[in-house]
Structure 1
Amino acid sequence: MKELKLIDRFNRNLNYLRVSITDRCNLRCMYCSPPRSHIPRLSHADILSYEEILHIINIGVELGINKVRITGGEPLARKGIYHFLEQLNKIKGISDISLTTNGVLLKDNIEKIKNAGIKRLNISLDTLNQERFKLITGFDYFKQVWEGIQKAYELGFHPIKINTVAMKGVNDDELADIGKISLSYPFHMRFIEYMPIGDTHLDKERQIMAYEIMELLSGIGELVPVYHDQNDGPAERYKFANARGEIGIIRPLSHHFCSTCNRLRLTASGHLRPCLLSDRQEDIKTPLRNRASDRELVDVFLKAVNFKPMQHHLDQVDSETVKDSMSSIGG
């Protein structure tokens, strides 16, 4: 398998695997989850076991995967995650392992995360207002999340990336305040254009494009571009003068970064998904459970990579929407 690589039809080398270990979440964010009465849930038997996930990741590493991000749902909500993270860190060939979390369970488990070998965190935070946090997420957990971020900082996690989905009429009036956190902390404050995915109750009128986000942040000071390394991902990086941290702008709608996308996703249900913004995916769980050989599982990887599209079409008026919810795909 050494000679095989995950190179798609457009000559993009896919070396980054995002792994959703659960579709369950302890929040109900308005841009992620459908209304409460319509939230589908995978049964325990339908979700990949940790052993199955590690098996699939090992095959991916043989094919050139060297960067892995663990996501959910909320990954910290799944039992046994800390031992799983330890096992993941033992896989030779992975140079970058990170964890995405909503931060609710972070404070009480941050030392376990560190002991498991995780150094990089992505944490969702869409507001600095406690009441608004409850409005956006459905729960009054702002204090727990902020204390978890502080604890991660104290324990030396770096970089700590804070992800904020920009929403008109919801949190646009405090994007500048969120950006100012980069002045005092070495955090990467990242602002993301809202993407309409799944059966959420947030409509397209809530979208704020990158140029609008930049205008709101310009009141703080001049945003100076930061050198963009090829391993940085899609964020456009900036920095305020004398700031300890950075500003990142992620613009999946107003400026496609599809041409440089190096990602493949493994869903909790056991599907390889080559594009977040397309429902097309390839089942790897069924052949795995049917005792397929590793070479046969390699073929599933290669088949998934082969139908990775050149770009998404969410910005087109007559485009087909993504039906699966973000919580089931993995962020």
Structure 2
Amino acid sequence: MLIDTFGRVATDLRVSLTDRCNLRCTYCMPEEGLQWLARPDLLTDEEIVRLVRIAVTRLGVTEVRFTGGEPLLRPGLTGIVRRVAALEPRPQISLTTNGIGLARTATALKDAGLDRVNVSLDTLRPDVFKTLTRRGRHHDVLAGLSAAAEAGLTPVKVNSVLMPGLNDDEAPDLLAWAVAHDYELRFIEQMPLDAQHGWHRDGMITAGDILASLRTRFELTPEPDEARGSAPAERWLVDGGPHRVGVIASVTRPFCAACDRTRLTADGQIRTCLFATEETDLRAALRAPDTAGEQGDEEIARIWRQAMWGKKAGSGLDDPTFLQPDRPMSAIGG
């Protein structure tokens, strides 16, 4: 198992397939984009599948989430999903995406074995979407969401970040829209993972702000703690159910004590935490001439176990000396 010194066991693997993205969200990267990883530095499709296989068959991983950047930009995505779905034991497979391109790929991904999707959408207003993302692709995201639901990639979850002065008034409208379309909405506090390092705690919309806004229109009943488990989102029943809304409050209500995640970047680095400042290189082990076959797989598993054993107790966000990771969210994977 991937166990740490605090007794937490990582069973959820987040795999970044690329650091590239076709949006330029203001809370993530500058308008001109970033210096993307060079192609030789990226894991190949074969290397990704091998590492996922090691995680599933040797390390107890039961859930695999493909992320980016924007994972739909990865040419081999469908094939990767198909090969991971064929593993024994079969993990649950999900995808976090901005939804652009999902309208044309949802059915193929479902047929390949993808179980569900999380789609990022911060606003219902096309003009605000263009301001937030610097791209006029709002209609493409809506089409992608519809295609995902039609293909059976359910429950379709929608992730929203609220930004002061832009969309901070939209929480009730977003929830009403999600309920009407049978999507599960989850608000995420803005985190200090932007490439510009412009995040400020006193400028963010908090979980408390979000819940206060929602309660102006809806009755929210908290789910019991045991229903949450290790999930990052606290969830509430909306007007008695069955619909739910979640809030991921990484900053103001950290959930590190129940964390069950391990992360693999697109260039083959293991990260024990989203906010980690250290990484462990698996790419070098993968490409070493003496790490092929069963013996090589076990050596890679050993390196991975050792990395997770050193996982810190928490993210450190509540520490005045907190330092933002050098890598932005697009390079880490959500």
The separation in 2 between residues aligned to 1:127 and 1:202, in whole angstroms, is: 21
How far apart, CA to CA, are the structure 1 residues paired with 2:194 and 2:144?
A: 29
Which residue pairs with 1:206 in the alignment?
A: 203
Match of 1:262 in 2: 260
* 1:51-104 deviation line (CA, Å, top 9, x unaligned): 001111111111101110001110111112111111110011233110110001
Matched residue, 2:245? 247
Unaligned runs of 5+ in 1: none
Q: What's the CA shift for 1:151? A: 1.9
Code of the residue aligned with 1:115 in structure 2: it is D
Are residues 1:156 and 2:159 paired?
Answer: no
Map 1:53-68; keep pairs closer than 5 Å: 53-61=48-56, 62-68=58-64
Equivalence for 2:77: 81
Which residue is equivalent to 2:314? 311
The CA RMSD over aligned residues, in Å, is 1.6
TM-score by length of 2: 0.93
Name the counterpart of 1:165: 161
Deviation at 1:135, TM superposition (A): 0.9
* TM-score of the pair, normalised by structure 1: 0.94
**Which deviations, in whole Å up to 9, do the C-alpha atoms of 1:176-201 show, x marking residues without a partner?**
11111233132110001111114236
SS of residue paired to 2:170? helix
Check 1:202–1:136 CA distance in 2 against 1; reply closer, same or farther (3 A cut): farther
Alignment correspondent of 1:271: 269
Whether 1:139 and 2:142 are equivalent positions in the alignment is no
Counterparts of 1:260 and 1:164, CA distance in 2 = 23
Letter in 2 for 1:220: R
The 1:298–1:155 alpha-carbon spacing in structure 2 relative to 1, beyond 3 Å, is: closer
Shift of 1:157: 2.3
Deviations 1:189-233 (A, max 9, x none): 000111111423643143111111100100122101235535661
Q: Which residue of 1 aligns with 2:13?
A: 17
Q: Are the equivalent residues in 1 in contact too, given 2:71–2:77 (CA < 8 A)?
A: yes
The size of the alignment, in residue pairs, is 326
Report the equivalent of 2:301: 298
Q: Residue 320 of structure 1 corresponds to which residue in structure 2?
A: 323
Structure 2 gaps of 5+ residues are none
Q: How does 1:67-146 map to 2 (within 5 A)?
A: 67-146=63-142
Residue from 217, 225, 230 that aligns with 2:214 = 217
**CA distance in structure 2 between the aligned counterparts of 1:290 and 1:266, rounded to whole angstroms:** 18
Alpha-carbon contact 2:228-2:234 (below 8 Å) kept:
no
State whether residues 229 and 258 of structure 2, in contact with CA within 8 Å, keep that contact through their aligned partners in structure 1: no
